[in-house]
Amino acid sequence: MNTVALHPQGATDSAGPASRRIIVGYGFWLFLLSDIIMFSAFFATYAVLSGATDGGPTAAQLFDSRNVAVETACLLASSFACGMASLAVGERNQLWTQIALLATGVLGAAFLALEIKEFESLVARGAGPTRSGFLSAFFTLVGCHGLHITAGLLWLGTMMAQFLAKGFRETIRHRFLCFSLFWHALDIIWIAIFSLVYLNGTRV
Amino acid sequence: MSLARGMRSYLLGLGLAALLTTASFWTATTHVIYGPAIPVAIVVLALAQMGIHLVFFLHITTAPDNTNNVLALAFGILIACLVIFGSLWIMANLNHNMMAAHMASQAL
């Protein structure tokens, strides 16, 4: 862009066009906020329906807070590993980038495996999504977060392959910036889930 | 951002987040705290941890190149609050109005 034409007097105010990195991050941040607004609708649904158990099992009878603690630890460690990957990308270090991204992925997959196991055991105990309004809302909210994690894992694999095949070029680094924002935002949504759904639900 | 500074920031974020998570799980199981205060404590701890994640992991700060991000975040929070508290308010009201007459008298 021709900045001389924009500032004919050679004005040196700092309000020039923002760098591409800032613009890409801002655009993706807007998407994440709209995603969070969608989640807020699911949270509202859950809050309204959390007492509608239709004589079926309640949150306190179903949820195992030890399992949730392990899931939470996996996701937090995964978020941290993703931060390490951002630092490695900043240093243009291929080995550490791949190691940190692999750790991010393995921890994310462990979280997902625990969640799928929990869902299976709920369905096996006759507490599937069709049992009551409470369980429909629960499976929608937590399942939607799980779907985001699944999509994130696919994206993560793609990023690892692209760093290997194409190196640290600018477009790939911007793509990775978006991925790291996505991954950290999913951890923020999980904070709301474990606090409102599990901890408040299992309290007796 | 230098590597050492970045590393320190992520480690600090991880430490604070782990501390708040532990406090949250402890609050939910303990009998030390006055019962009705526990849900409030859990919500406050969750909000604090979200703030930690925003600052240390997502790097939403008050820096000049971050103004747009902060404004968008404020708008997002506004909409999320309207959706959540609006839904709860309306549904509680509906519930109240749908109550059969004899149940309403019991509720009073």
Q: Which residue has the higher pLDDT, A44 or A202?
A: A44
Please tell me whether residue B81 adopts helix, strand or coil conformation.
helix
Contact state of A203 with B38 under an 8 Å Cβ cutoff: yes
Name the minimum distance, in Å, from the CA of A115 to any CA of chain B.
18
Could you read off the pLDDT of A37-79 as tens digits, one per residue?
999 999 999 999 988 888 888 888 889 888 999 999 999 999 9
Q: What is the pLDDT of residue A11?
A: 45
Q: What is the pLDDT of residue B79?
A: 97
Print burial letters for B67-94: b (CB count within 10 Å at least 16), e (below 16). eebeebbeebeeebeebbeebeeeeeee
Contact state of B10 with A181 under an 8 Å Cβ cutoff: no
Q: pLDDT in tens for each of the 108 residues of chain B?
A: 589 999 999 999 999 999 999 999 999 888 888 888 899 999 999 999 999 999 999 998 888 888 899 999 999 999 999 999 999 999 999 988 887 655 655 555
Contact state of B57 with A83 under an 8 Å Cβ cutoff: yes
Could you give the CA distance from residue B33 to residue A115 in angstroms, rounded to a whole number?
A: 30
Query: pTM of the entire structure?
Result: 0.89
Average pLDDT over every residue of A119-141: 93
Contact state of B53 with A184 under an 8 Å Cβ cutoff: yes
pLDDT of residue A200 exceeding 90, the answer is no
Could you give the CA distance from residue A20 to residue A45 in angstroms, rounded to a whole number?
A: 38
pLDDT of residue A110 exceeding 50, the answer is yes
Which of chain A's residues have a Cβ under 8 Å away from the Cβ of B75?
A: 33
CA gyration radius for chain B? 20
Q: What is the pLDDT of residue A52?
A: 87
Residue of B nearest to A82 (CA): B57
Which of chain A's residues have a Cβ under 8 Å away from the Cβ of B29?
A: 65
Choose, out of B2, B7, B25, the residue to mutate when testing the contact with A (most A CBs < 10 Å): B25
Contact B54, B47 (CB under 8 A): no
Contact state of A199 with B65 under an 8 Å Cβ cutoff: no
Q: What ipTM did this prediction achieve?
A: 0.87
Q: What is the pLDDT of residue A175?
A: 95
The tokens of A182 are what? Answer: 């996505």
